[in-house]
Structure 1
C-alpha cells in the first residue's frame, strides 16, 4: 500500500513538473512575441525609445529576461528577439524556458494595408 502511494506521489509530481515547464515555455513564447513587437515598432519609429531597450522592458514586464535582441541582417526594421524564463526552484536543473520571435513591418501589398 505504501508503495502504491509512493508511485502515485511520484507520478503526481512528474505531472506537476511537466505542467510547470509547459506554462513557462508558453510564458517565454508570449514574452518573446511581445518584446519583438515592441522592438520592431520602436525600430520603425512608431514609438519613442531604443528598440532593444524597449524589448528588454517588455520582456521584464512579462516576467522574462532578454537574452538577445538584434535587427535582422536583411532589414533593420525587423527585430529578432530571444528571451528566457527561469523555472521554479525544483525544476532549475532543466534550465530556463526560451522563447524566440521575429517582428517587423507587414509585407508590402498585404491584405489590410489599404493598397
Structure 2
C-alpha cells in the first residue's frame, strides 16, 4: 500500500539531488588543484637531488666550475630556484623552491661520497 504524499513533500528529492550535486562539484573544485600539486612536489624533489649531485660533482673535482653556481643552474633546468647551497668538504647540501599558483613548494637534498 502506498502512502499518500502531501503537497509539501513533492519535489524534495529534486532539491536533495541538486544539493548533493553541488557538494560534489565543490569538493572536486577544491581537491583537483590540491592533488595536482603532488607531481609538482616530486618534480621539486628531483630538482633538489639534481642540484645537490651537481654541486657534489664540482666539489669533488669531477666537473669544473663553482659548486653553488652549478647547483643553481641544475635547479633552474629542472624548473626550480636554488634557495640555499652549502658545501662542506665533498658534501653539498641544497634547498630549492618552486611556486605553483599561491603555493610555495620546497625541498632539500644532500649529496656526496658514500660514508
TM-score normalised by the shorter chain: which range applies?
A: 0.7 to 0.9
Q: TM-score, normalised by structure 1?
A: 0.79
- 1:83 match: 96
8 Å CA contact 1:27, 1:85 repeated in 2: no
Paired residues, number: 99
Could you state the TM-score of these two structures normalised by the residue count of structure 2? 0.79
CA drift at 1:4: 2.3
Q: Write out per-residue CA displacement over residues 20-78 of structure 1, whole angstroms, 9 at most, x where no aligned residue.
A: 22122111111101100000001111011110011000000100010000113xxx210
User: Which of 1 and 2 has higher RCO (CA within 8 Å, sep 6+)?
Assistant: 1
**Runs of 4+ that moved beyond 4 A:** none
Structure 1 residue runs without a partner (length 5+): 108-115
1:64 aligns with 2:80: yes
> Pick from 31, 42, 64: which aligns with 1:26?
42
Partner residue in 2 for 1:104: 112
The CA RMSD measured in Å over matched residues stands at: 1.3
